[in-house]
Structures are given as C-alpha cells and as structure tokens.
A and B are shown apart, each in its own frame.
Chain A
Amino acid sequence: MANFNQKKREIECKIVYYGPGRGGKTTNLEYIFKAFKSHVTEDMVSINTEGDRTIFFDFLPVGLGKIKGCNVRVYLYTVPGQVQYSSTRKLVLKGVDGIVFVADSFEVRRDYNIHSLKDLSDNLKEHGKNIFQIPLVMQYNKRDLEDLVPLLSVDQMEKDLNNQLKVPSFPASAINGEGVGKTLKECLKLTLIALQKEFKWAEK
C-alpha cells in the first residue's frame, strides 16, 4: 500500500533492505545514496543500532515513469535485525511495498541468512503480508572476497534461500557498487508493477 501524497502529487513507495547483520544492507544504501545524490532531496539519516546501522533516505528517481500522472518517490530503509528493536522494525515494515534481501556470501554466515529470511517471513506475517506475494529481490553480497574467505557458491545460496521463493537474484559486491543498481532496479520494477496493478484494480 503506497502512500499517495496529494499535496506534492507524488506516490510514496517504501523499499526495505532486509538481511542478517553486517551483511551489507547499509553498504548498499550508502552506495545508492552516493550514486543518486542529485536526486536525493534531504540528507541520509543514519541511526546506530546495536550490531548494525539503520539507514533512511528518500529520492525521486527520474526515468521511472509516472503512475496516473504522479511522480514516484522512493523511500529506502534498512531495518535493524536484532529482536529488541521491535518498535523500529514495526515502523519500518509498516506499509512496505518492496523488499531487497541482502544475504551474506561468507560460508560461516550460512545459518544467519536462513534465520534472517525466516524472520522476515514472520515479521511480514505480523503486518498481514505474505513473503510469497510481496515484491522481493535477493542479493548475494560480498562476491568480491572470493579469494580471501571461503564463500558459499551462488548455487548453494539459491538452494538455501531461493528454492521456494524463486525471486530474481543477483550476485553483488556492494562495497564496489557491483550489482547494487541492478538489484534496486529489479526491486523497483517489481514494486511498480505491483503498484500499477493495485491502482488499476482500485479504479474499477
């Protein structure tokens, strides 16, 4: 359910980056913030939460097209994974339109990924949403560290995380910006298609 801001004639849609702590959600958003700097109207908000940082900013991507003559403003958030941050999580996930799940390719993080995805599914359920229906994109991050640390193969990660969901997935290296744009673009595409459907459906 995107917000329609009548004053600004904008549709506000909310994309949330989810995933295990230190998996690269923040790095993704920092890269996007830098890359889209000219479209970002306000500063990036960064809140230190235990083990992670929660980040927020919004921007108006050009070339996204309009829905019913309205610009689409995108709100990007990361969500703190720790159980204790329930109020923050509630606010961030309320009315979410699309999700990017950033998985950590480190072999030692395999279980964290699986747990975090399960968490996401539970949290969405609490907000009356279904992980199988919400626009969702997977990102397998930290591929650049292949030579330094044992990594999970992309196939293995697909099997672990995307076997049932079957959503678009991208290998990435958020620190260098590789795959970051692709991931967001795909997620925006899915989200906008879903919104288009929702708005047309509401018209009838």
Chain B
Amino acid sequence: MSNGASLTGDLKFLNLGEVLQLLGSNGSTGVLNVLSKYAQNPGVIYLEKGNPIDATDGSLKGIDGLYALFGWTDGKFEFKEQTITKKNTIKKSRMEIILEGLRMVDDGQIEILGAVSFKSKTPDGSEKSTHVPYIRGPLVDYMYVIDEEDFKDGDEIVKEGKHGGWIWVILDGTVEIIKETKKGRLNVIRIGEGSFVGSMSSFYSKSNVRSASAFAKGDVQLGMLDSQQLFSEFSNMTSDFKNIIKSIDNRLKLVTNRTSDFYIGKINLDEIISGKPAIKQGDNEDRLFSIAKGKASIVRNYEKIFIPLVDLAERDFIGNMPFLDMGHEPYSASVFASKDFKIKKLDTVELQREFENLSTTFKNLIENVATCITATTMVACEYYKKINKENTDKK
C-alpha cells in the first residue's frame, strides 16, 4: 500500500460511502482502489473533482459496478491522486450514489462480500451448487520466498494423504482445495494471491500428512517459503503461543473434515451438545482460555439450526482471540463443554504482543488460516443446511 497512495484505510472503519464523501468534499481527482480478501480483482472507482465518473467491479462497469462495491464492507481502500482521462459514464451526483448504494445494501439488492455472509443462490433459485468461497491473502512478503515454481491448469500441487512439509505462498493464480469423499471430489475453497498452500503442522509434527489436495486452476505461480527460517521462528515462541498455532491449524483441519462429512450426509452429534453452553453465541466474552481437561464442541446457530463445527480437546483454546477473526466463538458460535471440563485463562495482552512481533510472513500465515476457517465454516453450514432440509422433507 505504500506505492504513492494519498489516502489508505480500512473499510470497516470508514465505509465506501464515507470515503466517497470525504474525497468529495475535498474535490479530489484520481483513482480509488477497493481491495477485498474475497474478490479476485480490486474494485476501481475513478473520481474527477470529487465526483465518481466511472467504476469497475469485476465484470460490472459504470454505475452498476460502483453500486456493487458498496457490498464490500470488509477490506481496504487506497486513493491515488492522478489525472483521469476516462469518459464520464456516471451521470448521477455523488450524494445520490451514496444514498442509493446504501439503500440497495439495506434492501438486500447488493451482495455483501465476505466469507461470513455470502449467500449461495444460483440464478434459477435452486441450491444445488454451493458457492465456493475465494480467499485472497495479504500482500506477499518476499523475504521468506526462496524459490518460485510454476504449475499448469489442473496440476496437482499437493495430494491428500501424502507426506510433505513444504509451505508455499501463491504469487499468481488460483488454487482449489479439494477433499476426496465417497461422493467424489469436494471443492472446499479456492485460494488466490497471498494465500498459503500447506500447513503449519510441519513445524511441530514429524509425520506431516497433507489433509487435503491442492490443484492449480489455470496457470499458477507459487513461492516456496523458507521452512528453516519459519521453523526457527516457531521454536522461539512461548509454549502458549505454540499451542495456539497448533490449535488453529487443527481447527482448520477439523472444520474441513466436517465439511466433507456434511457433504456426504454424515452427521455425528456429540452428546455434550446439550443444556447450557459455556459460551453463548453473541456473548460479549473477551477472555481466551486453554482447555486443561475435558472436551468442548463449537456449535453455530445458523438460521435457527445448530451446527456442530469442531470438537476440541486438551490444549486447544476457546474464547475470544483479540488479534484473529475465525468467525467462530464468541460472536458467531457457542461453546458446549463436557462435565469434567476445566480451563486455564490465557494472557491475551502478552499473546497479542507476541503476535505483533512475528515476521510478516508468519503473521500472514496465521491470519490466512483464520480466514480459511471462517470461509470453510460457511461452506460446512451450507451443506449442513442441505442435509437438514432433506431430512425434514423426508418426514
């Protein structure tokens, strides 16, 4: 983002309407780029003297493209001052665009872009094909890239069940994450530029078995990461932090496995999911715990259906991780605990400090795992909803 931008920021803090107001009252001329982890290409808005004159969001152009960008509530923006030679295709006034855009968001006419809230609607209204989320990572940090590798469309990058410890960062292209199931191949998520292929488990486990396959979708360029350096960084972490890394890595694996279970129609309800939850979805819980004894189950209440996401055990963590958003507890899932459940409170201030002192690549890696958990969880919920619907239809 440090490429000569005049104004950059987070859309969660200033939404698109507010950014346009600000640039409008400043009478700025230039290009406003909107970036989201969930979109393949950035959205672009051209401004002349504070007024939007053209925009693109993927294949949408002009005013439609601009309206669609109002759905990008989670992401970054950057404004670059420059002369614009584009023709004015948007004849509406700035304030009209802003108010109309926000109204369309409120009326549900614009899709909100994000892993948590994506909807799987096919044009004919059927729900046969579940939307496969697309995850982009942050800007690639080349410090840790030691080699570049090219793959052609359809190439297998890693194979589920095989041993391997390499981690790559995607430099260019799209990679599909595939689980083999009884019902055939399940495309869980698609990942793009800045996302990582491979898991952190190679740091702490000797026999690293790949939990899913990865295939190139179109031409892909990967950057191989310096595992030696990442490993030495990992070994210097405190044991609490190491456990957290193991636990989020584990959580992604578990929720991915759960997704393929739901895909083939298998549901295993743990008996501990009953009675009162230890943490209720939506609770204002700001503490973080490590499980000392017993089992916990993370359950999401999604459109009034309870969906078991992952089962956790000793040394896993539960609660609110201040620096990571996994789309689970406490805001988007409940925690149910077994009778013999014991927990230990973790020092989030200290953990956050440790996180902030990590190398950019390591931070990106952890954040990418968290984003993938959010996205995979949504896919799991969609499949669960389908089974649930089939079951009630049968009755």
Binding site for B on A (CB under 8 A): 3, 5, 7, 12, 42-43, 45, 47-50, 54, 56, 80, 84-88, 91, 94
Q: Which of these binds chain A: B93-101, B230-238, B315-323, B333-341?
A: B93-101
| Residue B17 interfacial (CB < 8 Å) | yes
The answer to whether B18 touches A84 (Cβ under 8 A) is no
Q: Which B residues are within 8 Å of any A CB, using their own CB?
A: 15, 17-18, 21, 25-27, 93, 95-96, 98-100, 102-103, 105-107
Known A-B contacts A7-B27, A94-B18; A54 and B99 likewise in contact (beta carbons under 8 Å): yes
Contacts A3-B25, A7-B27 given; indicate if A43 touches B93 (C-beta within 8 A): yes
Q: Which residues of B contact A86 (CB under 8 A)?
A: 106
Output the nearest chain A residue to B98 by Cβ-Cβ distance: A91
What would 14 A/B residue contacts be, using CB atoms closer than 8 Å?
Answer: A5-B25, A7-B27, A45-B93, A45-B96, A48-B103, A49-B106, A50-B107, A56-B96, A84-B107, A85-B102, A87-B17, A88-B99, A88-B106, A91-B98
Looking at the assembled complex, report how far the CB atom of B112 sits from the nearest CB atom of chain A, in whole angstroms: 10
Contact B102 A87 (CB under 8 A): yes
Instruction: Give the complex CA separation of A45 and B100 in angstroms.
Output: 9
Q: Which residue of A lies closest to B50 (CB)?
A: A7
Q: Is the CB of B26 within 8 A of A7?
A: yes
A54 to B95, CA, bound (A): 11
Docked Cα-Cα span, A85 to B17, in Å, equals 14
Give chain A residues whose Cβ lies under 8 Å from the Cβ of B17.
87, 91
- Chain B residue nearest to A92 in the complex (CB): B99
CA distance in complex: A96, B381 (Å)? 41
State how many angstroms separate the Cβ of A202 from the closest Cβ of chain B. 20
A88 and B102 contact, Cβ closer than 8 Å, known pairs A12-B25, A50-B107: yes
Q: How far is the CA of A46 from the CA of B25 in the complex (A)?
A: 20
Q: Tell me whether A91 and B18 are in contact (CB under 8 A).
A: yes
Please name all residues of chain B whose beta carbon is closer than 8 Å to the beta carbon of A42 when the two chains form the complex. 93
The answer on a CB contact under 8 Å between B103 and A88 is yes
Q: A47-B103, A88-B106 are in contact. List 15 more A-B contacts (CB 8 A).
A: A5-B25, A7-B26, A42-B93, A47-B100, A49-B106, A56-B96, A56-B99, A80-B103, A86-B106, A87-B102, A87-B106, A88-B103, A91-B17, A91-B18, A94-B18
Q: What is the minimal beta-carbon distance from B77 to any residue of chain A, in angstroms?
A: 16
Q: In the complex the two chains form, is A91's CB within 8 Å of B102's CB?
A: yes
Q: Is the CB of A85 within 8 A of B103?
A: yes
- Residues of chain B with a CB closer than 8 A to A94's CB: 18
Q: Which residues of A contact B102 (CB under 8 A)?
A: 85, 87-88, 91
Smallest Cβ distance from A52 to chain B, in angstroms? 11
Interface pair A85/B106, CB less than 8 Å apart? yes
Contacts of A84 in B (CB 8 A): 106-107
Residues of A within 8 A of B95 (CB): 45, 56
- B99 and A45 contact, CB distance less than 8 A: yes
User: Which of A3, A42, A45 counts the most chain B CB atoms within 10 A?
Assistant: A45
Contact A47–B106 (Cβ < 8 Å): no
Residues of B with C-beta under 8 A to A5: 25
Q: How far is the CB of A53 from chain B (nearest CB, A)?
A: 10
Measured between C-beta atoms, what is the minimum distance from A90 to chain B in Å?
8
Chain B residue contacts of A91, Cβ below 8 A = 15, 17-18, 21, 98-99, 102
Shortest beta-carbon distance, A48 to chain B, in Å? 8
Nearest Cβ in chain B — how far from A123, in angstroms?
14
**A174 to B102, alpha carbons, bound, how many Å?**
28
Measured CA separation A86–B107 after assembly (Å): 10
Question: Contacts of A7 on B, CB cut-off 8 Å?
Answer: 26-27
Q: In the bound complex, how far is the Cα of B182 from the Cα of A149, in angstroms? A: 70
**Residue picked from A49, A50, A80, A88, most chain B C-beta under 10 Å:** A88
**Shortest CB–CB separation between residue B30 and chain A, in angstroms?**
15
Chain B residue, CB-CB nearest to A75: B95
- Residues on B with C-beta less than 8 A from A87 are 15, 17, 102, 105-106
In the bound complex, what is the Cα–Cα distance between A88 and B95 (angstroms)?
A: 12
- Residues in A whose Cβ lies below 8 Å from that of B27: 7
Q: In whole angstroms, what is the CA distance A49 to B106 when docked?
A: 10
The CA-CA distance from A102 to B223 in the complex, in Å, is 62
- How far, in whole Å, are A178 and B15 apart by their CA atoms in the complex? 39
With known contacts A42-B93, A94-B18, A47–B107 Cβ distance under 8 A: no
B311, chain A: closest CB distance, angstroms: 36
- Given A56-B95, A91-B18, A91-B98 in contact, is the A49-B26 Cβ separation under 8 Å? no
Chain A nearest CB, measured from B81 CB (Å): 14
Closest to B105 in A: A87
Tell me the nearest residue of chain B to A57, going by C-beta: B95
Which of chain A's residues has its CB closest to B28's CB?
A: A7
Interchain CA distance A84-B105 in the complex, whole Å: 10
CB closest residue in chain A, given B70: A87
B304 to chain A, nearest CB (A): 20
Q: Which of A47, A80, A85 contacts B96 (CB 8 A)?
A: A47
A91 to B26, CA, bound (A): 18
**Nearest-neighbor residue (CB-CB) of B108 within chain A:** A84
Q: Which residues of A contact B99 (CB under 8 A)?
A: 45, 47, 54, 56, 88, 91
- Chain B proximity of A118: nearest CB distance (Å): 21
Q: How far is the CB of B253 from chain A (nearest CB, A)?
A: 37
Distance in Å: Cβ of A13 to nearest Cβ of chain B: 13
B379 nearest CB across to chain A (Å): 27
Distance of A85 Cα from B26 Cα, bound (Å) = 27
Distance to closest chain A CB from B216 (angstroms): 39
Q: Closest approach, in angstroms, between the C-beta of B348 and any C-beta of chain A?
A: 27
